[in-house]
Amino acid sequence: MIRFFAFLVLTLAPLFAAEAAAPVVTASVINGAIRPSETYVGSLRYATLAKLSAQSAAVLETIAVDTGDRVKAGDVLATQDIAILSANIAAKAAELKKSKASDEQASRDAKRYKTLLDQNSVSEQTYEQFRLKAQELAAQSETLAAQLKALEIERQKRSIRAPFDGVVVEKHVSVGDYVSAGSSVISLAKTDSIELAVYLPATTIDRIGVGTKVGVNVLGKDYDAKIAGVSPRGDPSSRLFLTRVAFEKPSEKLLEGMEATLKIAARANENALLINRDAVINRFGGDIVFYIENGVAQMANVEILGYDGQNAALRSATLKAGMQAIVKGNERIMPNQPVKPL
């Protein structure tokens, strides 16, 4: 029986050894240089956010939008009750019509009496009475016309319109609420005004200025951006300065409150080891790279300096140029495990 088990071990051992050699794909580690980036985390916000208010006191009759709706400049977002106002406009229009009729009659009378005056058929005093009456009625018509225009403007203001293309951020009131003049009704954000707000240290602020090109990553997508402004007043406790970053081509998918990462290039290039970025994985509590030595996988701790396209730039006390790093299959192997490069 003992000889039988010994035979099995000697027979199957090569098979187990062959199965233990995990197939992997490798790439060479090379010397190079990279201009590393400093990264900072901030939040997206709308630079242009308008609180649209009621311009007159009245009951809110309709709200045509909801939170998240996108609107165009000039769109009616909400309306206030205009029943009494419309009745006053109709009354004022009728009064103006009557006044204009009297005004026109008085004007004709004044012209007729001017002709009679020129013919010495009436006294100058009589003519003056008709001329002054015509002027008085003309002024009255102008006053009524101005009052009617004011009422019509007031009616227009009962419709709250979008001042620009944007997205509805918040509704502050509901249909049926009585809103006074100046009360906020809807908050509207300008969609193309989305920006990144991030706090930077003085050392970074010292080497950038308005217009500096930077990169921003949101939800894994990179965007071109530039520094739009830096607050002249820093936070006394953190010594950080609020910095505004504007997107060159903002997307409608970018929303206020999203987390974003700002990338700012360092001052100069830095010597580093370059390797395919797929070789770097996060395991055992840190960033590591598996490399092949004498047919088995060995692990090296690395410090990532940055990325340049498909390459990762890093420092390591173990890795050297010319070593073969594992770029595929590294997620499932263990240190000292036999591997077979494909």
pLDDT digits (tens, 9 = 90+) for 68-103: 999 999 999 999 999 999 999 999 999 999 999 999
Per CATH, domain 20-35+269-341 is 3.50.50.60: no
For residue 186, name the pLDDT band (cuts at 50, 70, 90). very high
Residue 160 has pLDDT above 90, yes or no: yes
Residue with tokens 């997620």: 331
What H or E segment, with its residue span, contains residue 189?
A: strand 184-190
Residue 320 has pLDDT above 50, yes or no: yes
pLDDT recorded at residue 16: 40
Residue with tokens 């005093």: 125
Rounded to the nearest 10 degrees, the angle between the axes of helix 83-118 and helix 124-157 is 160
pLDDT recorded at residue 262: 94
What H or E segment, with its residue span, contains residue 29?
A: none
Residue 2 has pLDDT above 70, yes or no: no
- Domain 38-47+192-265 CATH (choose: 3.90.550.10, 2.40.30.170, 3.40.50.10680, 2.60.120.560): 2.40.30.170
Rounded to an integer, what distance in angstroms lies between the CA atom of residue 268 and that of residue 127? 94
Mean pLDDT over residues 182-203, rounded? 94
pLDDT recorded at residue 310: 84
Mean pLDDT over residues 11-34, rounded? 72
Question: What does the domain layout of the chain look like in residue ranges?
Answer: 20-35+269-341, 38-47+192-265, 57-81+158-190, 84-156
Asked if the domains 20-35+269-341 and 57-81+158-190 are classified in one and the same CATH topology, the answer is: no
For residue 133, name the pLDDT band (cuts at 50, 70, 90). very high
Q: In a 3-state reduction of DSSP, which class is residue 268? A: coil
Residue with tokens 């003519």: 127
Mean pLDDT of the chain: 89
Rounded to an integer, what distance in angstroms lies between the CA atom of residue 109 and that of residue 127? 9
pLDDT recorded at residue 267: 63
Residue 10 has pLDDT above 70, yes or no: no
Residue 4 has pLDDT above 70, yes or no: no
pLDDT digits (tens, 9 = 90+) for 195-224: 999 999 998 888 888 999 999 999 989 999
Residue 18 has pLDDT above 90, yes or no: no
Residue 295 has pLDDT above 80, yes or no: yes
Q: What is the CATH T-level fold of the domain 57-81+158-190, as seen in this structure?
A: OB fold (Dihydrolipoamide Acetyltransferase, E2P) (2.40.50)
What H or E segment, with its residue span, contains residue 49?
A: strand 49-53
pLDDT recorded at residue 206: 86
pLDDT recorded at residue 288: 95
pLDDT digits (tens, 9 = 90+) for 233-261: 999 999 999 999 999 998 888 999 999 99
Rounded to an integer, what distance in angstroms lies between the CA atom of residue 62 and that of residue 247? 36
Instruction: Tell me if 194 sits within 8 A of 254, measured CB to CB.
Output: yes
Tally of CB atoms within 10 A around 315: 14
